[in-house]
Amino acid sequence: MSSVAVPLQCVTARVPAKVNLELMVGPLRPDGFHHLATVFQAVGLHDDVSVEPAEEWGITINGPYAHLVPADGSNLAMRAARLLAGEAGIDVPVHITIDKDIPVAAGMAGGSADAAGALLACDGLWGVWSSKTALEELAAQLGSDVPFALLGGTAMGSGRGDQLAPVLGRGRYTWVFALSDVGLSTPEVYAECDRLRPSRRVPEPTPSAAMMTALRSGDAVSLGRALSNDLQPAALSLQPRLEEVLRTGMDNGALGGIVSGSGPTVAFLVDDTERSLDLAVALTASGVAPAVKRAVGPVRGARIITAASGPRGSFGSTGHETGHAGPAGLRSS
Ligand code: C5P
């Protein structure tokens, strides 16, 4: 039977948030970034990024965080779409719609997720069919965390966090994220990290054996103990209230707690869904966290969830998928 190519009208990509299980910060590089050795895990909090042909470039943000996100050309999703258009020689404006569930400026790579989603969705809409490597290269131009939002799962990041190698770990982990109403700027947290260093001679960062052993075993207790983040002292120095959040989480049954990326979100690893509910209640009832999200990880990276037609559905998998990668039942609380 012959098939007829139907032009795509709207393509939606679903993209996860991340937590850094380990974040080792090395010396400052000449380009202003730091050498990193990090282990990312994608978690089941997602943004959906939809693109459709339009008369002119535009962007709409939906959801509780919409007012915190720029709806103009500075939006990372818009920059991603334009970058791909320029590379592929496409002259078709799109309207981007982002349904946001990933907290904004939280250390969970929400902006990076939107950029990855826009790259993947536009690639499908325009029929560019970029190779995985080509999309990863464009992603790295947009931000250090954007390549990981495409890849997902659990992965080691080196360079400035953009050079990825998947980690073959076991286990599914249950997370509680204590959100914050105070802001932390990523460049300021890195600068504070440099300021707090006891010595100017910072060694090259290397991943810890404890983290790799924990991930291989799939044991949440070991992983909880192995969580570490070199940016945490800097985040706590700039926002001392986060100490109390960490203490409250650990006093209420968390297996481990860590500032997520450059913060201010604090991520807690717990045993199971029931413990995640208990901890979410404790964090909000004690007044240390204005809001809490729960999620499991690892989940897969960016993927197409709706498209009218097209030869490929996702970054490394087949298309026309629906539904979240994470187990049902873990939602924001
Ligand atoms: O790459 P991204 O836009 O996410 O980085 C935001 C900021 O975080 C950079 O401008 C830089 O100040 C800091 N950063 C860094 N070293 C890295 C990644 C980010 O110093 N490896």
**pLDDT value, residue 311:** 40
Return the pLDDT at 17.
Answer: 98
Closest approach atom of ligand 1 to CA 144: 1
State pLDDT tens for residues 163-176: 999 999 999 999 99
Are the C-beta atoms of residues 205 and 36 closer than 8 Å to each other?
Answer: yes
Question: Active-site residue 47, yes or no?
Answer: no
Which of 34, 74, 193 to mutate to test ligand 1, by most ligand atoms within 8 A of the CB atom?
34
Rounded CA-CA distance 31/12 in Å is 34
Fill in the amino acid letter for 61. Answer: I
CA-to-CA distance for 36 and 273, rounded, in angstroms? 32
| Local confidence band at 1 (pLDDT 50, 70, 90 cut-offs) | very low
Q: Is the pTM of this model over 0.85?
A: yes
Maximum alpha-carbon separation in the chain: 70
298 pLDDT higher than 50: yes
What pLDDT shows up at residue 315?
Answer: 53
- The strand pair at 94-99 and 173-178 is best described as unpaired
164: nearest Cα among 269, 256, 301, 47: 301
pLDDT, tens digit (0-9, with 9 covering 90-100), for 91-144: 999 999 999 999 999 999 999 999 999 999 999 999 999 999 999 999 999 999
pLDDT digits (tens, 9 = 90+) for 307-325: 755 444 445 433 333 333 3
The model's confidence at residue 237, banded by pLDDT at 50, 70 and 90, is: very high
CA distance 325 to 118: 19
For residue 207, CA distances in Å to 17, 24, 40, 191, 317 come to: 21, 7, 12, 22, 29
Of the residues 47, 48, 114, 145, only one is catalytic, namely 145
Q: pLDDT tens digits, residue range 208-234? A: 999 999 999 999 999 999 999 999 999
User: What average pLDDT score do residues 275-282 get?
Assistant: 98
